[in-house]
Amino acid sequence: MSIKLAYYPGCVAKSTGKEYEISTQAVCQALGVELEEIDDWNCCGATHVSNQLLATGLSARNLVRTKLPVMTSCSICYSKLRSAIMRLEDPQMRAKVNQALEVKYSEKRDVKHVIEVILEALEKDGIDPDDFIVQSLKGLKVAPYYGCLLTRPGGGIDSPENPSILEKLIRILGGEPVDFRLKMKCCCGPIFVPEDEAASETLMEILRDAKKSGADLVTVLCPLCHLMLDANQPILEDKFEEEIGLPVLYVTQLTGLALGLGIEELGLEMNSVSPESILNKLEDARSGE
């Protein structure tokens, strides 16, 4: 029996993170999760809306447009939606927000990140993950990159200090999570334009650490993190005159490979750093079976 969720894509999934949108839809369909996109959704406020009341109102408007549990694939959106839910527990905040809403926020909502939905589908009672996994990721060393917003505010998906949900999924898929010291260091996306030098240094530090760990690839949960580590990687290589060559896959793209989904189904051809080395390694493993 399929699970039905309201889908909040967020702005980036419809633009520079289109491959996240494509792979999210494909993976959810393969796992029997039906997504119903929220009608007339708006931006969650992301990192650029500092006014707490406005940010809460923007998220609340999305939450009241459905009665279903809400799923998003963006860590920024996930954090913003959860923050809004927590603030809306305050009657005064809820009253102020409802003054601006056509549909009033009256009951607490449930918000999930796509990685939670994937794990729930693979670990559902009576389900063997191997029933879904077509191509084990055995032999792939994966650097799990959380970034800074997925586990904040606390009390949600995982430990804010030492999360392990991504490592858990990698193991279920047959891969090997590497010890990645900088897995929670901010990608500097919000400051990349005004503080280019500082952001570039930090990004190279993250990528060097991932490569030093022996990883074949980095997997991420946030479209801004993906943009910074994937699209910027060739630019950083030129700037620092240093080759990294480390593919950066969304968690849905990584999961989709294990589920046997194709390159176009996962939007892998849109990635800036070619995933060819990963695909070849999986093909070699398949041929050796």
Q: Tell me, what amino acid is at 128?
A: D
Sequence spans of domains, the chain: 3-114, 127-287
Average pLDDT of span 192-219: 94
Look at residue 288 in the predicted model and tell me its pLDDT.
75
pLDDT at position 189 is 87
36-70 residue pLDDT tens: 999 999 999 988 898 999 999 999 999 999 999 99
pLDDT tier at 245, thresholds 50, 70, 90: very high
Q: List, for residues 248-264, the tens digit of each pLDDT value.
A: 999 999 999 999 999 99
Confidence of residue 286 (pLDDT cuts 50, 70, 90): confident
The answer to whether the CB of 251 falls within 8 A of the CB of 116 is no
Average pLDDT over residues 201-228: 97
Angle at 231 between CA 264 and CA 117, to 5 degrees: 55
User: Is residue 73 a contact partner of residue 112, using CB atoms and an 8 Å limit?
Assistant: no
Tokens encoding 89? 């527990």
Q: What is the CATH number of domain 127-287?
A: 3.40.50.11810
Mean pLDDT for all residues in the chain: 95
- Is the fold of 3-114 the same as that of 127-287? no
- The mean pLDDT of 230-253, rounded to a whole number, is 97
More confident residue, 12 or 38: 38
Cis peptide before 190 (omega within 30 of 0): no
pLDDT for res 289: 64
Model confidence, pTM: 0.97
In the CATH scheme, what is the code of domain 3-114? 1.20.1050.140
Tens of pLDDT, residues 108-134: 999 999 999 999 999 998 889 999 999
pLDDT value at residue 192: 78
Q: What percent of the chain has pLDDT over 90?
A: 89
Report the pLDDT value the prediction gives residue 1, as an integer from 0 to 100: 53
Q: What percent of the chain has pLDDT over 70?
A: 99
Q: Which helix (H) or strand (E) holds 35?
A: strand 33-37
Burial class (CB in 10 A: 0-12, 13-18, 19+), 11: middle
Neighbour-count burial for 49-81, b at 16+ CB within 10 Å, e otherwise:
beeeeebbbbbbbbbbbbebebbbbbbbbbbbb
Q: What is the pLDDT of residue 125?
A: 85
Q: Show Cβ contacts of residue 227 under 8 Å, excluding neighbours closer than 6 positions.
A: 12, 16, 17, 189
